[in-house]
Amino acid sequence: MSEPVTMLETPIKIEYEFTAGLAQSRYLKGISEGKFLGQRCPKCTKVYVPPRGSCPTDGVPTTDEVELGNTGIVTTYCVVNVPFQGQSIEIPYICAQILLDGANIAFMGLIQEVPTAEIRMGMRVEAVWVDKKDLGPTMASVKYFRPSGEPDAAYETFSEYL
Amino acid sequence: MAAASGGRRPVAVVSFAQSDMVRREELRNDVEVLQPVIVDVFEKVGLTKDEMGFVCSGSCDYLVGAPFSFVSALDAVGAWPPMRESHVEMDGAFALYEAWTQLQEDDIDTALVFSFGRSSMSELGRVLTLQLDPYYVAPLWPDPVALAALQARALIDSGRYTEADFAAVAARSRRDALNNPHAQVKGEQTAEELMGDDYVVAPLRRHALPPITDGATAIILAAGDRAAELCERPAWITGMDHRIETHSLGARDLTTSPTTRRAGEAAGVVEVGDGSGAPVGVGVDVAELHAPFAHQELILRDALGLGEAVAVNPSGGALAANGVMVAGLVRIGEAASRIMDGTAQSALAHATSGPCLQQNLVCALAAEPAGDGRR
Amino acid sequence: MFYFPAMAESDVLRAPHVIEYTYTRSTGPVIGAFLTGLRDGKILGATTPAGRVVVPPTEYDPITSEEVGELVEVGQSGVVRTWSWAAHPLKDQPLDRPFAWALVLLDGADTAMLHVVDAAGPEAMSSGMRVTARWRPAGERIGHMKDIECFVAEGAS
């Protein structure tokens, strides 16, 4: 008689048709045109990117669309040295929170073209996009961010967003 | 265990809102579906989210296939600065139960409860299979209709009801839904006409199944004097309880709902007085029963002892719109609305979860607070 | 600031999204023994303190929650307690042709087990009918509910 059964494998597979909704669709359309579109809260006037159609502070619809710049500030970062399954970027690499100019919330982005030892809070960065013909409604349209060469931002200008 | 009154702080439903219940939300994401409902539920009583003592939601991440989707849904309320907040991976009715218990603490007077679900994006039958026993049941991939049909057959075999009775429930639900602007499935067909439907999984024909529904709903609860300030006719919660049955389908009598009966007893709307042991509903003008399948309404009516005088599911019930994670909370909202609009003095709302009415919640509502009535 | 124009339905982005994962679940002693039994062509139940036999077995009495005692082999045939007819089988279900779902009370068991019955049509099914297990070939059994391919009417095999 063979060994007793002690494990049961239960594979699951569920297929969805994901619909992005209005705010995220507009954001991704903007991305496919090479620009970042945020939305402004009519109450507190903060600009959220990527937008979800609602102000997370006031709980009201964000009805005003705002085109943001291509540059921003590294508010904080980490250097990834750990390999993991499915990793597509060579380690070590820098993962940063980036506050786009004109936005009131930072989002996560990849930083390249800078040695890991030189990354710092306050560094000014710019988005590097794929070739125009390859742009699409996907975050893969933004290849990464890199130093813009501008002087670092003062801590007080982004401390609120940490 | 909850008792019917017993010195609890009186809590009432003071506001209720819901989206239109639709087959598919083509344009909006969860936050966008929820947002106008939240705005509406606050506007009805002139409150803001900053005045909420507690916020509790019910939803299921598997519906949209996005982990922690309930966290991003909080954007529809405005979760900053941090609020006292909780979430259940269940129908919003169970979130309301949690909020009701929180309101027993004297330090808060109001709570927002909401739930949302877009079932249209997923293979809903497969998503619901994931709630089943993962060793013995889920590996066979029975869909919810197949399991409900086992229950329906057992009910027919019991001699208590026939397929024509199921069709009569569906016909009445669709007719009543004509008066519900948010309902999805409505119409004037007779039971005889509906009996012409094909079987989906026999003995359940198309009309005995709930629609697949996208939608959202929200309720505001208030305690004591605050409820009376906010609402001319608050719908006081006079009792609430929920009970669950074994996970083993084959160990249950699927033709009865003992947990519904016991929850009803604990909520103070069911008495098992005489020697027959038959439950008798007491003090209920209107009952909103969360019966996703037509035959389940009959099982629930029997478990709650609801007589002919009780108006059952005047909203059309879950056969008219069955937002997964939403329809139970809507039942509480609809039952409360009958009290708030003056058409009923007392009402009962029921919510269910799991296969074949596995878990059941009963909420008793009245135009006057229960028992000692400290307000 | 400007109000953005209303979006047409065709402007909203859609994408297929697949969630796929294989859970590897430890079975524990009771479920493990049952699945081992299936692999070896036997069906086991658990005896409760009240002397009832729970099939498929759980570590606890599903009604009283008491711990169960010894595992006993039950019959491979039994009675259909209730059934439903799947005219259109869905993905991953046990049979790919029309079949019946059934709660089967096996001989010697006190609780019924969910499985399927291979039958020619709904007219061949009834509550109370006797059915018997049809097993997968021994070499294909792995300790899984689908080691029982289905049930068939007793005597039909």
Tokens of B299: 């099982």
Residue C31 lies in a domain: yes
Share the mean pLDDT of chain B.
94
What integer pLDDT is reported at residue C10 of this predicted model? 66
Count CA atoms within 13 Å of residue B50 on its CB side: 5
Residues of B in contact with C142 (CB under 8 A): none
Share of chain C above pLDDT 90, in %: 86
For chain B, the domains span 11-123+212-230
Report whether pLDDT(A98) > 70. yes
Considering the domain B11-123+212-230, what is its CATH architecture?
3-Layer(aba) Sandwich (3.40)
Q: Give B195→chain C minimum CA distance, Å.
A: 17
Residue C11 lies in a domain: no
Share the mean pLDDT of chain A.
94
Model confidence at B2, pLDDT cuts 50, 70, 90, reads: very low
User: A112-121, B70-79, B93-102: which has the minimum mean pLDDT?
Assistant: B70-79
- Mean pLDDT value of segment B298-311: 96
What integer pLDDT is reported at residue B5 of this predicted model? 47
- Mean pLDDT value of segment C21-38: 96
What integer pLDDT is reported at residue B371 of this predicted model? 61
What integer pLDDT is reported at residue B238 of this predicted model? 96
What integer pLDDT is reported at residue A151 of this predicted model? 97
What integer pLDDT is reported at residue C9 of this predicted model? 59
Report whether pLDDT(B375) > 70. no
d(CA B330, CA C50): 42
- Mean pLDDT value of segment C68-92: 97
- Mean pLDDT value of segment B173-197: 98
3-state helix, strand, coil in chain C (%, to 5): 15, 40, 45
Report whether pLDDT(B278) > 80. yes
d(CA B174, CA B153): 23
Per residue in A2-49, pLDDT (tens digit) is: 899 999 999 999 999 988 889 999 999 999 999 999 999 999 999 999
- Mean pLDDT value of segment B133-156: 98
Least CB–CB distance from B28: residue in A21, A59, A60 = A21
Report whether pLDDT(C4) > 50. no
Per residue in B211-220, pLDDT (tens digit) is: 999 999 999 9
Say whether the peptide bond before residue A42 is cis (omega within 30 degrees of 0).
no
Share of chain A above pLDDT 90, in %: 83
* Residue from C58, C99, C114, C148 whose CB has the most chain B CBs within 10 Å, to mutate: C114
What integer pLDDT is reported at residue B257 of this predicted model? 97
A108 touches chain B (CB under 8 A): no
Residues of C in contact with B250 (CB under 8 A): 55, 81, 103, 105, 111-114
Share the mean pLDDT of chain C.
93
In chain C, the number of structural domains is: 1
What integer pLDDT is reported at residue B72 of this predicted model? 86
Residue C16 lies in a domain: no
Contact, B241 vs B362, CB < 8 A? yes
Residue C1 lies in a domain: no
CB contact under 8 Å between C7 and A12, yes or no, is: no
Contact, A87 vs A95, CB < 8 A? no
Subunits touching B (CB < 8 Å, at least 3 pairs)? A, C
d(CA A148, CA A74): 11
Task: Classify the complex by whether its ipTM is higher than 0.85, answering yes or no.
Answer: yes
Tokens of B306: 């609801």
Q: Supply the range of the domain harboring residue C59.
A: 24-153
**Residue A59 backbone zone (phi > 0: left; psi -120 to 50: alpha; other: beta):** left
Residue C12 lies in a domain: no
Nearest to B250 by CA among C36, A84, C63, C27: C63
Per residue in B210-254, pLDDT (tens digit) is: 999 999 999 999 999 999 999 999 999 999 999 999 999 999 999
Report whether pLDDT(B275) > 80. no
Give B167-222 as a DSSP string: HHHHHHHHHHHTT-TT-SS-----HHHHTTSPEEEETEEGGGSPPPBEEEEEEEEE
Residue C133 lies in a domain: yes
The kind and range of the H/E element at B295 are helix B294-304
Residue C3 lies in a domain: no
